[in-house]
Structure 1
């Protein structure tokens, strides 16, 4: 083992990039057992993240770092102008880790699921927003402090949403190549025996696949089964607690 380590360390033996845990992340490469490690490493380092994002082929504008209020603002963020799919509304502001995770989810989870369930790709993704200086909406009947003035009525920073740092995106719907529109609100199975009810429903299966696939590429994923606040969208985030609900 020592000899092998020496050979690799000195370059005497070259390891293919896909088998080298220290090689840069290739976002377009089929996921393997090292993808999660490489993705986490890329997201943790701004320069490495931007280098990986450049390899995606997406079009984006770099955003200057901003602080918009207590616990609000973003660093190492981009305005996503063009992705593999059309985004509606267009040009969301996302942290580099979010933009990178979105590309990998769309490429390696969403599109394969759409081809499997419908035999065609997703051409557009509808979202409910990315960056917003607000607190977590806990579904307690009160608004998430979106309009609260940070200077006159500051909110506890501990309860800031990941949206407040451009580290979240809420996905509400999909449009297939034939024009068919699928929404989380109408397509997610609500029955108590949801998995059984969805067995022969390609719309429900696609949404289930999209939700499950997101858990591979984002740190946090919340869907309609989590609580009523998420009944109409998938909340995807990076940098927070690991969760898949």
Structure 2
């Protein structure tokens, strides 16, 4: 009997020691920065600097509505500066957020705030949500874009609500959502006609530019005419157009990440 009691006591001590080690091994949050871009709507990009890699949680809520709390789980990554995109936010609204590593209670001093950007007029000029309320069973989103000035890309849910947008000083001629949830576009810095453009961009939903190819650089010497998509090996495929003997025809061009 005494031996069994001793085993239980040792087991409890080991559990307590493991819990203590786990608590002391949690990383420090060395810095937190929130980026709000006026050209990227209904989102906030949170950059976190940790003293060591670790999973964490971001709790966020409208500051004036603390009962509507939402949580994002960020799995452990092999980096000290993970970036998290918070989406489907309301515009021109103040949010509070806190970062935690487990079930610990967040201290008031650790709560930070950010305010989302206002909706640009260009979005409402292109798309009026009040006139486009729909009901579908779509498990996803619609993507639209406006080719004129100012250019806008929209993601709209199955009820017709705008959940994300990007505005651009360029004329967006073609926009496609890729298999890795990035946006691939043909854009023009001038008023080129049709769907012709002079640059190809791949951006993520946080607004970061992952790829920029400018017409005339390296072997990117064929004007993007229309249609563009990303292959599984991340090559760019688009249609170009050439005229020979007064006859116009389309051609297919495949570019690597260097153009």
Normalised to the residue count of structure 1, the TM-score between the two structures is 0.31
More strand by share: 2
- The structure showing larger relative contact order (alpha-carbon pairs under 8 Å, at least 6 residues apart) is 1
Normalised to the residue count of structure 2, the TM-score between the two structures is 0.30
